[in-house]
Structure 1
């Protein structure tokens, strides 16, 4: 009989097909588990699969008295209370680096779309203004990539792939992270120093309490009126109100965002701005990335039910 696994977050059913071939899935559809299943049904569940951004505290864990493993579908685990999991002896796993290439690709795509003003250019053609030879200040020449100073905030797997791609575009690269890495890019001693130096700030840092609103009004001012910011990390890293204010006042030139403080993001002051390119958190949403993330989820679950250590355990999430 297949082992039971609770699906805690709301996922498209297609993402769970391969996992469902190996385990008996109890899908909550994103609702509280007790609203969907009885206490008796939940009593024997030993593992759950969740999205890393979904909040899970001790109370949610206690609904499953035999819970021994929380497996995050994807790289992030910022919604999970690691201390609560550790104190309850719950192992935590994720899918490290599984979607790094596709997230790096969307970061570069957003940077190009913002700096080359692709959305205004698209509208210039569709509106007939180009055919009518109507002048547009948005069509003025912009700086190209050779020599462009790009700063990467966070030099994990995604940050490294972003830097490698942009170095091939002849950009000058620098980075700031909690520690130095063995990479061929200039290291900056602080986020402030990185913002002072670069014209494009790429946010690729892991979300957490120490990075919450790290990119605030001060950092945005340091980027300057010709600066742009791209965020493919988590919306919590940018102080969104400060970003809207900086964009509206032309204190920075533009932004490319795949993540937001609240998701899904409804139309508001941010979406009304013409100097912003927005995507609906699709950085890791490619077929190959999903296959790789599912491979990690399955490997973690199989190891857990076999009584073995998780092959993709979250660093620092050690059960007490």
Structure 2
């Protein structure tokens, strides 16, 4: 039996180049100089797309492959995939939830602690030999003073973040599309109402149209000059221009960011700010988690071609 043809849109996915060829014929679109010509020449035989959370799959590509049967995403976020077009054509989409929850929550906590305690600035302070000349400025405590954490998006990752922050003695509040009676945290119907109540916002919600720029100027003003923003969700969730302006004008105290609106481009103003910590979208970037994500994605692909139920189909 001939191996199914798989179009790979994203490079640097662990295990893919080693293991997928065992049961698939790979076509690496990212290596093609003339991508349109390649698609035109090979569109009839492509049965699957392998992509990532940041590359996605646009409607025109999905429509151009008449024998496409499945789209497998390396990552939880599928906002870069045209789910409407996939649904219209009856093409299932899978992602990799669950396996990256703990590491992403760890990243949120790392950003929170690093931002509040000015860890990166403190490191630079020592390396520049400033310690012998000056005292390092005071930071903000996570454990002292009855802090309140506001989590936007209380899914698996949001709950894992809440568990970690609770260990520091902070009170948890949250906002999302619906209240969850099963959790012991106070619910707020809007992000602005949540921001007024808390000392820092931790963003763990999905990207996409429903959450586009939900952290905007009114939210930042509600958070106030002692508040912090921590984002491990999607860059699109925050109005980046307003965030930069709020930081410049000191209308909020600081930010810890793992994601940006136009990755890998980062606003120039942020690069020189000591009250901002910047990560290069590494929420799930550990050897263990990325390997588990790749394994789950391949298991979905294999299940499809073996005629078995998909493990993690996006609904």
Superposed CA deviations along residues 44-64 of structure 1, whole A, max 9, x for unmatched, are 111111112325232111232
* Structure 1 partner of 2:20: 19
Q: Aligned pair in 2 of structure 1 residues 231, 299: CA closer, same or farther (>3 Å)?
A: same
- 1:263 matched to 2:263? The reply is yes
Secondary structure of the residue aligned to 1:271 is: helix
* Structure 2 partner of 1:28: 29
Superposed CA deviations along residues 125-169 of structure 1, whole A, max 9, x for unmatched, are 11112123x144xx2253342422111000111101100111111
- 1:97 matched to 2:75? The reply is no
Unaligned runs of 5+ in 2: none
* Structure 1 partner of 2:207: 207
**Aligned CA-pair RMSD:** 1.9
* Structure 2 partner of 1:115: 116
Q: d(CA) in 1 for partners of 2:10 and 2:140? A: 43
More moved, 301-310 vs 228-237:
301-310
* Structure 2 partner of 1:162: 161
* Structure 2 partner of 1:152: 151
Q: Aligned pair in 2 of structure 1 residues 159, 20: CA closer, same or farther (>3 Å)?
A: farther
> Quick check: 2:53–2:78 contact (8 Å CA) kept in 1?
yes
- Normalised by the length of structure 2, the TM-score is 0.93
- Normalised by the length of structure 1, the TM-score is 0.91
* Structure 1 partner of 2:174: 175
More moved, 181-190 vs 281-290:
181-190
Superposed CA deviations along residues 273-308 of structure 1, whole A, max 9, x for unmatched, are 221100100111111211221122112111211233
Secondary structure of the residue aligned to 2:269 is: coil
Q: d(CA) in 2 for partners of 1:131 and 1:260? A: 36
Unaligned runs of 5+ in 1: 316-320
Q: Aligned pair in 2 of structure 1 residues 20, 269: CA closer, same or farther (>3 Å)?
A: farther
Q: Aligned pair in 2 of structure 1 residues 3, 118: CA closer, same or farther (>3 Å)?
A: same
Superposed CA deviations along residues 201-221 of structure 1, whole A, max 9, x for unmatched, are 000001110100000011011
- 1:308 matched to 2:313? The reply is no
Q: d(CA) in 2 for partners of 1:32 and 1:98? A: 34
Secondary structure of the residue aligned to 1:46 is: strand
Superposed CA deviations along residues 42-95 of structure 1, whole A, max 9, x for unmatched, are 311111111123252321112321001111111010011111111111111111
Secondary structure of the residue aligned to 1:48 is: strand
Q: How far off is 1:20 after superposition?
A: 3.7
* Structure 2 partner of 1:238: 238
Q: d(CA) in 2 for partners of 1:172 and 1:15? A: 42
* Structure 2 partner of 1:2: 3
* Structure 2 partner of 1:79: 80
> Quick check: 1:34–1:63 contact (8 Å CA) kept in 2?
no
